Amino acid sequence: MSRPEHIAPPELFYNDEEAGKYNSNTRIQSIQAEMTERAIELLDPEGPSLLLDIGCGSGISTSIAESYGHVTVGMDISPSMLSVALESQEVEGDMLLADMGNGVPFRAGTFDGVISISAIQWLLNADKTCNIPQRRLNRFFETLYSSMRRGGRAVMQYYPESDRSQQMILDTAKKCGFAGGIVVDHPESKRQKKFYLILQAGGMRTLNTSEMSVEDEKVNAKKRKLKRKHDMSTREYIVHKKDLNRKRGRLSVPKDSKYSGRRRKAAF
Amino acid sequence: MKLLTVNFLTCSNKSCSSTAEAFPLKIEDAKLAIQQMELKPEFLRNIIPRVDWNALLISTRQLGNNSLPEEKPELTEESDEVLLKSLHNVLLETEITEAKMTCGNCGHIYPVFEGIPNMLLSEEEI
């Protein structure tokens, strides 16, 4: 899968030509619409709310959120994408030209909820020397937390590049006060796999997890590590590995004996 | 840009977020338009407690409207439609299409063009 983050910074990548695709390409539109519907389902706002759409782009997600009766404010860094949104005239809410890495410019407790479709992976990009990903992440989540009402929820669909970047985003969000985790839709399919970062800004509202596959990353990683360590030292594992290497034709495989897999005596 | 958004918008600069002069942004050279929107009483009841009435008064005066009451009106279930409609008109239907917004603390000017404010900062200000 191609990653636009590797090509150019967002304000340059989404030029008139790229932005035009969002207006004409029905495949992009249907995928974006589907993800927006899912994000709003996960957001589950109580009644008509004021929502922030981060990386609103051509306004596909914004107009869908409005069709549910919410009032929206969108922000995006690409002027071309915003002008597409203006031309289409489907967005009633306001839009800002702003960089999420510089923070969300709203006063405390503004929004009932936040959605973002395919945007926050851009935060990890460093296109200029003044852009330090960790600092941008910190600033983004700090200001996002304060701009949300206590108990408000943010649902952000994004494309994590690696486990490390995913961990970095989640850790920063938690450090800034959010509670939350990642919901993975269609985990079995590489193409359709979608990550939704769900964050809760204070308050006590539990997420309905009955129909979701929620991965608790830390616990899983710990278990995996423990298991591997245990396996590696057993005699069966060593014999199995040796057999495997013999079958593959390696010449320097030691013989099996009663000493295989035994611990050495402690040195003097 | 709606007056509702103006009421929540602050300067993007990190050092301005904690100062009192930075909010609300000062509006100058504004061109206004009215955009019809469907009245949503439930949304208004939800949002009015969060509106900073003083800031709204300052913003509307800068736009040349002195007709708003000094005190924030209380919205209840039985609030009459006239009040709801007037609030809806001020907060959601009044659009600023072009303006200059100035931060009272750092003095950064945010231009508004075609209803979209440009909140980007230059590299030195980050």
CATH architecture of B3-121: Single Sheet (2.20)
Handedness of CA A148, B85, A56, A81 (dihedral sign): negative
Chain B residues lying within 8 Å of A112, measured CB to CB: 46
As a residue count, chain A comes to 268
Q: Please say whether the beta carbons of B1 and B117 come within 8 A.
A: yes
* Residue for token pair 């709606």: B2
Tens digits of residue pLDDT in A178-224: 988 899 988 888 888 899 999 998 866 555 555 565 555 566 666 66
Q: Domain boundaries in chain B? A: 3-121
On whether any CB of chain A is under 8 Å from the CB of B114, the answer is yes
Closest-CA distance, A253 to chain B, in angstroms, reads 60
Q: What is the Cα–Cα distance from A230 to A116, expressed in whole angstroms?
A: 42
Chain A residues lying within 8 Å of B126, measured CB to CB: 102, 130
Q: What is the Cα–Cα distance from A122 to B70, expressed in whole angstroms?
A: 44
Q: Domain boundaries in chain A? A: 4-215
Nearest to B50 among A47, A96, A110 (CB): A110
What three-state secondary structure class fits A73? strand
* Predicted local confidence at residue A77, as pLDDT: 92
Q: Give the alpha-carbon dihedral of A118, A124, A125, A129, to 10 degrees.
A: 150
Which of A60, A69, A71, A68 is closest to A34 using CA atoms?
A60
Q: What is the Cα–Cα distance from A245 to A255, expressed in whole angstroms?
A: 12
Which residues are within 8 A (CB) of B35 and not within 5 positions of it... i.e. 6 or more apart?
A92, B93, B95
Nearest to A49 among B46, B115, B120 (CB): B46
Which residues are within 8 A (CB) of A241 and not within 5 positions of it... i.e. 6 or more apart?
none
Asked if the model's pLDDT at residue A233 lies above 80, the reply is no
Chain B stretch 36-55, residues whose beta carbon is closer than 8 A to a beta carbon of chain A: 37, 40, 42-43, 46-47, 50, 52
Which of A175, A171, A193 is closest to A184 using CA atoms?
A193
C-alpha atoms less than 13 angstroms from C-alpha of A195 in its C-beta half-sphere? 21
Q: What is the Cα–Cα distance from B5 to B92, expressed in whole angstroms?
A: 9
Q: What is the Cα–Cα distance from A22 to A19, expressed in whole angstroms?
A: 5
Asked if the model's pLDDT at residue A94 lies above 70, the reply is yes
Structure tokens at B69: 């009451």
Tens digits of residue pLDDT in A128-155: 777 788 888 999 999 999 999 988 999 9
CATH number of A4-215: 3.40.50.150
A110 and B47 in contact by Cβ < 8 A? no
Query: Percent of chain A having pLDDT more than 70?
Result: 88
Tens digits of residue pLDDT in B39-62: 888 898 889 888 999 999 999 999
Tens digits of residue pLDDT in B67-77: 888 888 877 77
B12 and A47 in contact by Cβ < 8 A? no
A50 and B126 in contact by Cβ < 8 A? no
On whether any CB of chain A is under 8 Å from the CB of B112, the answer is no
B24 cis-preceded (ω within 30 degrees of 0) = yes
Helix (H) or strand (E) holding B95: strand B94-102
* Predicted local confidence at residue A224, as pLDDT: 67
Asked if the model's pLDDT at residue A19 lies above 80, the reply is yes
Question: A185 or A89, which is more confident?
Answer: A185
For the ranges A212-216, A230-234, B29-33, the maximum mean pLDDT occurs at B29-33
Q: Please say whether the beta carbons of A39 and A196 come within 8 A.
A: yes
Question: B27 or A90, which is more confident?
Answer: B27
User: Which residues of A make CB contacts under 8 Å with B?
Assistant: 47-50, 69-71, 73, 75, 77, 82, 86, 92, 94-99, 102-103, 105-107, 109-110, 112, 128, 130, 139, 143, 149
